[in-house]
Amino acid sequence: MGYPSAYLSVPDEYGFCFTQALQSIGLGLASGIGAALARPGRLPVTALGDGGALMSVAELETVVRLGLPMVIVVYNDAGYGVEVHHFAGPCVDLDAVRFPDTDVAAIALGFGCDAVTVRGEAELGVVSGWLAGPRDRPLLIDAKIADDGGSWWLAEAFRGH
């Protein structure tokens, strides 16, 4: 949740909707759909984690059925980020909060989205092509991110808890 707000820019105060609350996992895509419907003249970009994306995967059908020309970025680190920090500790088994690598792009294609898996900057050319095209289907970006032990800002937030 912290990285989109730290690194994505928006044109004005109406261009940012941040779903952050206790137990908000799985609400990112639904919030993005709401924002897209509220501002139909704008390009909605929704950024969410892979755990939340998998919890709300059925909403991809909604995005496709409504014909929403939106970009959905899934930060895919094969785990529930917050829970990794909550449960981390000596001799703690994290199998309950980590899962096998999931091909979220393939799932999105099955729902009728355009989709791409990105492991590096060179693979982002698909996004430029989608932006230049008719935008008649949503684009999901399955952004495979390196697991370097979790996010620094979550580690700081949970220090001492």
The pLDDT, as a whole number, for residue 159 is: 72
Q: Determine, yes or no, domain membership for 7.
A: no
CATH number, domain containing residue 79: 3.40.50.970
CB-count exposure of residue 115 (10 Å: 0-12, 13-18, 19+): buried
Mean of all residue pLDDT scores within the chain: 86
Name the domain count of the chain: 1
For residue 75, give its domain range: 32-158
The pLDDT, as a whole number, for residue 42 is: 92
Cβ atoms 103, 135 nearer than 8 A: no
Comparing C-alpha atoms, which of 43, 74, 76, 59 is closest to residue 111? 59
DSSP character at residue 159: T
Q: List pLDDT tens digits, range 81-140.
A: 777 777 777 788 888 888 888 999 999 999 999 999 999 999 999 999 999 999 999 999
Cβ atoms 104, 63 nearer than 8 A: no
| Range in 41-50, 57-66, 110-119, 131-140 with the lowest mean pLDDT | 41-50
The pLDDT, as a whole number, for residue 132 is: 96
Q: Spell out the residues 6+ positions from residue 135 whose beta carbon is closer than 8 angstroms to its own.
A: 43, 69
Spatial separation of the C-alpha atoms in residues 144 and 127, rounded to whole Å: 15
CB-count exposure of residue 98 (10 Å: 0-12, 13-18, 19+): middle
Residue 1 pLDDT grade (very low, low, confident, very high; cuts 50, 70, 90): low
Q: Determine, yes or no, domain membership for 40.
A: yes
Q: Determine, yes or no, domain membership for 128.
A: yes
Q: Determine, yes or no, domain membership for 106.
A: yes
Q: Which tops the pLDDT comparison, 151 or 129?
A: 129
Helix (H) or strand (E) holding 30: helix 28-38
Q: Determine, yes or no, domain membership for 13.
A: no
pTM: 0.88
Q: Determine, yes or no, domain membership for 138.
A: yes
The pLDDT, as a whole number, for residue 98 is: 86
Q: Determine, yes or no, domain membership for 67.
A: yes
List Cβ<8 Å contacts ≥24 apart for 83-86.
84/150, 85/150, 85/151, 85/154, 85/155, 85/157, 85/158, 86/158, 86/161
